[in-house]
């Protein structure tokens, strides 16, 4: 990944699942919940999004994705992190030491905690947990240098098998894209 990739911001449509009619879920869901046509059509947008997202993500999503925190600047960080080093976590928020090479500094990784607070919830709904809002963090330590020597991280989601960065707003294993992976 090049340095220019660290400045990319992805913009998503706000209601990316609104056109999903849930056709293949309509019959079994209506039977299970005793819904008639009107009941089904009155399901709230939130419920429809949840059903659409869960169906699209599949049952292996916890193993299909990784959250990566990659150092993009190291302006003399006292901990010794270097540009390009990574901390890789699975979707259960466990560190994958075999894929990680970052010096683990809690001052640098602590700000990434919001990713883990929301990632499980968002991903379980079929949404990319790393949105354009939650992509860059910096060390909490300021020292006497008045924060001039902070290290900074870029956080992103990637495919756990191919290590391709996932930029789509919706995690959809049902669509096969040009790359053959559904992205």
Q: Model confidence at 102, in pLDDT bands (50, 70, 90)?
A: very high
Q: Model confidence at 10, in pLDDT bands (50, 70, 90)?
A: low
12 versus 165: the higher-pLDDT residue is 165
The tens digit of pLDDT for each residue in 103-149 reads 888 888 888 877 777 777 777 777 787 776 678 888 887 767 666 67
Q: Model confidence at 165, in pLDDT bands (50, 70, 90)?
A: very high
Beta strands in the chain (DSSP E): 65-74, 86-90, 136-138, 151-159
Predicted TM-score of the model (pTM): 0.70
Question: Alpha-carbon distance 48 to 72, whole Å?
Answer: 38
Q: How is the beta sheet containing 86-90 ordered, strand by strand?
A: 86-90, 65-74, 151-159, 136-138
Can you tell me which residue has the tokens 């005793």? 34
Start-to-end C-alpha separation, the chain: 17
Q: Across residues 76-89, what is the average pLDDT?
A: 89
Residue 74 burial (C-beta neighbours within 10 Å; 0-12, 13-18, 19+)? buried
The whole-angstrom distance between residue 78's C-alpha and the CA centroid of its chain comes to: 29
Six token digits for residue 54: 């869960």
CA distances from 102 to 105, 107, 115, 136 (A): 9, 13, 18, 16
Residue 135 burial (C-beta neighbours within 10 Å; 0-12, 13-18, 19+)? middle
Six token digits for residue 1: 């990944």
């Amino acid at each position: 990944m090049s340095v220019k990739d660290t400045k990319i911001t992805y913009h998503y449509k706000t209601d990316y699942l609104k056109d999903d009619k849930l056709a293949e879920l309509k019959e079994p869901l209506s039977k299970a919940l005793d819904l008639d046509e009107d009941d089904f059509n009155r399901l709230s947008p939130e419920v429809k999004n949840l059903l659409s997202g869960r169906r699209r993500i599949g049952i292996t999503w916890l193993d299909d994705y990784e959250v990566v925190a990659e150092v993009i600047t190291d302006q003399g960080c006292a901990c010794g992190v270097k540009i390009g080093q990574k901390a890789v976590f699975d979707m259960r928020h466990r560190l994958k030491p075999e894929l990680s090479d970052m010096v683990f500094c809690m001052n640098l990784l602590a700000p990434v905690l919001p990713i883990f607070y929301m990632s499980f919830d968002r991903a379980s709904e079929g949404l990319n947990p790393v949105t354009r809002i939650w992509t860059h963090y910096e060390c909490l330590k300021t020292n006497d240098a008045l924060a001039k020597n902070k290290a900074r991280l870029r956080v992103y989601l990637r495919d756990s098998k191919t290590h391709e960065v996932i930029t789509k707003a919706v995690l959809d294993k049902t669509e096969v894209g040009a790359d053959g992976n559904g992205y």
